[in-house]
Amino acid sequence: MEDEQHSPAPGEGTVTIEGIGRVCLRLIPTEEELIRADRARRARGFFLALVEPLVVRPPYAHADWASLPEEELRKTALLIAAENDLLSYFRPKGEKPFYNAFRNAWRMKRASHNEAVFQRALSIWKEHLESAISAAAKAYGQAVEKERNMLAPLARAGFVLAPGALSAFAGVSRDDGLSEEVIGGRLEALWTEERLAELVDLWFDLEPFRRRERFIRDAFSAYLRGEYALAIYGLFPQPEGVMWDFLSRTNPAEPEIEELIRTQKRTFVTVEALLRKILARLIGEEDLLFYRFVKFIDFADDSSLNRHAVGHGASIAFGTKRNALRLILFLDFTHAVLEELLK
């Protein structure tokens, strides 16, 4: 029986290992120790690198530990796994070496913890937006109540309209089967250059639009010159840009979730999530054709508009008047929504 001087301290444990004797270990590694151990290329190296700073007595000797058979080291692995709540993840297969299972158990626990932390932060982020989005959805719904049946066919054709633009479209449309070609043709006829210029002039009452006024006006000038591809390049980032201004200035949870995205190496983009949420709540369609992710190998460059394909150069046939009009009207929709969000 160990004397009191050598009894394990809180957080420590003992294991008897043939060839070394009774070993006392600190059972819970620090975050720094885990990061350092994870630099090991092989799973066995990870295990030994993790154990080294945990050994309290006798002093760790790498040559002694590295020469031990797998079944002796497994005792230590089980002791550490139990103390760190890893047993639900640590499932070594039969007589096979446990090293990969041990390292994977740490990774699965970390992934589970990270996911829980991220989902909590995301829930808080959404809560801060809920009242503003609900108010915007209510205002939009009331404004488009008479034309609501047109929202879905317009969205399928790649057009999302502010209440004023939707009312103008309804005034020149009949219930004669709103195909994509019919919708596009009527909108092009309706929105003359003069009328569009008047529309664009109304946007700069909001600060996020004023900050981008030079870019927006340059893009619209390209539209007026018939340089539709150039107009599209200039217009595509603007809806996300103005919404990013809103997020970064009004949502107190934005810094935390951005930090989690960075440290957890996530692909989640908050402004894209906000736009999808707005589209789903206001028009019932969150996956617009021109915002949809596509694999380049599957993309048919047939003059259809897709942000991912345009931004990465996979599309070169997108520069049409109709596509540029889609983005102008979508930016007008964004302005109408932002006006409500900022109230």
Tens digit of each residue's pLDDT (9 = 90 or more) over 138-184: 999 999 999 999 999 999 999 999 999 999 999 887 666 678 898 99
Domain coordinates of the chain in residue numbers? 4-108, 144-341
Q: What's the pLDDT score for residue 285?
A: 84
- Tell me how far the alpha carbon of residue 168 is from its chain's centroid: 36
- State whether the Cα torsion 166-172-173-179 is positive or negative: negative
Decide: 197 and 178 in contact? Cβ < 8 Å. Answer: no
Average pLDDT over residues 113-120: 96
The whole-number average pLDDT for the span 311-330 is: 94
Q: What pLDDT, in 10s, does the model give residues 234-292?
A: 999 999 999 999 999 999 999 999 999 999 999 999 999 999 999 999 999 877 888 88
Average pLDDT over residues 117-123: 97
Q: Can you give 76-127 as a three-state secondary structure string?
A: HHHHHHHHCCCCCCCCCCCCCCCHHHHHHHHHHHHHHHHHHHHHHHHHHHHH
pLDDT at 24: 95
Q: So what's the pLDDT on residue 270?
A: 95
Span 178-231, pLDDT tens digits? 788 989 999 999 999 999 999 999 999 999 999 999 999 999 999 999 999 999
Residue 188: what pLDDT?
95
The pTM of the full predicted model, rounded to 2 decimals, is 0.83
- Which of these, 171, 126, 128, lies nearest to 280 by C-alpha position? 126
Rounded CA-CA distance 159/181 in Å is: 12
pLDDT at 301: 85
Between 10 and 23, the more confident residue is 23
From residue 191, alpha-carbon distances to 28, 197, 216 in Å are 67, 9, 17
What's the chain's Rg over C-alpha atoms?
A: 30
Of the pLDDT bands very low, low, confident and very high (cuts 50, 70, 90), residue 6 is low
For residue 4, pLDDT over 60 is answered with no
Q: What is the pLDDT of residue 174?
A: 67
**Alpha helices per DSSP H over 5-98:** 31-37, 43-54, 62-66, 70-83
Residue 196, both tokens: 């569009």
- Percentage of the chain surpassing pLDDT 70? 97
Average model confidence (pLDDT) across the chain: 93
What six digits make up the tokens of 22? Answer: 């009774």
